[in-house]
Copies of this chain bind each other. A is one copy, B any other.
């Protein structure tokens, strides 16, 4: 990352960059009156990059996107909430294609530049009658201020909408990135589907954009995806239209690094917003692991801690139950020497040399646990590998939301 990248937060979400419009409406996919259809459009086509779920069961829109992204050009993104269009077979794929075609026709742009997304319940076909009526309506509503409703229209169990935009200067040119995201099933961000759509006015090659996005996602959304799970629908797209008029950015240059850092900043912000809005979450916990042989080892340990239900419930209970963390480390499958392990709750060491520090330290740790946001730092004393990720606690709220979110 460039040493001194000055990043400025701006308003406007996905329409903050030059040349983007957006809209959100209630089309009738959700039984409630909530917004359930979003559209984002650029004035002109440009390179598009995507990162998709690693789940082998792919929702219809993901199949369609993965196919069309090979052409590397995008201009519009249309997304419904309330129905995931997953496990819907050939009918589902036909529906996704119809949405794509209809949107393209009404916008007057090529079909392959329209990307389709869905999130919601699995296994039911889309209410196409409602969508056929909704798409002409939403096209008419496109506006520079439509970003707020667009961000709301992709929500499912989210309690707040998630938007962000930021700017930096690359050479003499101001470039802007906007974004919106949804997802709140923190613990398996996967299943409650994580969607993020980023827009930018930067001029960049498709390859350079894809590399920047992949790296940004690895350090943001993939760091809240604490067990590498992913839903049938998870998607991150970034659409660039070049209207910032900067010299075309290619991979690996100083300008690329600046853009990548800006993109990662936006992704991190949205990822943390998803984490804080985790289903039933009352705490945001940063887990840092260092001193492993490799980055992979550190990641493995961090994820084992972050996915332990016993650790998560202890965090909810504000109990500095470090024995559960140590036990999670021990079963992570990474060779270790217990005597080299130390563990901190924020700045309080509770374990050193694999053993409890003191009753006093446990009491101080108890105070740390009462905070809304805290950091657990593990040191394995073995090498240069490190990893950081974010997770939440496991509360009654999580069980409630997920026991009642119905098929």
Residues of A participating in the B interface, judged by any CB pair closer than 8 Å: 54-58, 84, 86-89, 121-124, 185, 187-188, 190-192, 228-232, 308-310, 313-314, 316-317, 319-324, 326-327, 329-331, 335-336, 338, 351, 353-356, 362, 394-396, 398-400, 402-407
Q: Which residue of the partner chain B has the closest CB to A191?
A: B310
Kindly list the 7 A-B residue pairs having the minimum CB-CB distance in the complex, ordered from nearest: A122-B323, A317-B403, A57-B330, A313-B402, A55-B330, A321-B407, A123-B356
This chain: how many copies in the complex?
A: 2
- Chain B residue nearest to A400 in the complex (CB): B396
Known: A56-B338, A89-B354. A331 touches B230 (CB 8 A): yes
| Contact status A86-B323, CB under 8 Å | yes
Main secondary structure of the interface of A (DSSP, over half): loop
User: Contact at B87–A406, with CB atoms within 8 Å?
Assistant: no
Name A341's closest neighbour in chain B (CB-CB): B57
User: In the complex the two chains form, is B407's CB within 8 Å of A336's CB?
Assistant: no
Q: Could you list 13 A-B pairs, sorted by A, with CB under 8 Å?
A: A55-B327, A56-B335, A57-B330, A87-B351, A122-B322, A187-B309, A188-B309, A232-B326, A232-B330, A309-B398, A313-B403, A321-B405, A362-B407
Contact flag A402-B317 (CB < 8 Å), given A308-B188, A327-B55, A335-B56: yes
| A326 in contact with B402 (CB, 8 Å) | no
CB of B87 within 8 A of CB of A331, answer: no
Q: Given B86, B229, B310, which contacts A188 in the complex, CB threshold below 8 Å?
A: B310
Shortest A358–chain B CB gap in Å is 11
Q: A188-B309, A309-B402 are in contact. Are A326 and B396 (CB under 8 A)?
A: no
Find out whether the CB atom of A319 lies under 8 angstroms from the CB atom of B356. no
- Give A316's nearest chain B residue, CB to CB: B403
A362: chain B residues within 8 A (beta carbon): 407
The chain B residue with its CB closest to the CB of A54 is: B331
Please give the distance in Å from A407's CB to the nearest CB on chain B. 4
Known: A232-B327, A399-B396. A407 touches B322 (CB 8 A): yes
- A354 and B58 alpha carbons, distance in the complex (Å): 11
Known: A317-B404, A327-B190. A338 touches B399 (CB 8 A): no
The CA of A338 and the CA of B309, in the complex, are separated in Å by 30
| A336–B402 CB distance below 8 A | no
In the complex, the answer to whether B56 meets A122 with C-beta atoms within 8 Å is no
A354 touches B87 (CB 8 A): yes
Tell me which of B58, B313, B329 contacts A398 (CB under 8 A): B313
**Contacts known (A230-B331, A310-B191, A403-B316); A87 close to B321, Cβ less than 8 A:** no
Contact A321 B406 (CB under 8 A): yes
When chains A and B are docked, how far (Å) is the Cα of A362 from the Cα of B121? 14
Give the residues in chain B near A403, CB-CB below 8 Å: 313-314, 316-317, 319, 395
On chain B, the residues within 8 Å of A313 by CB distance are 398-399, 402-403
Which of B57, B309, B329, B400 contacts A327 (CB under 8 A)? Answer: B57
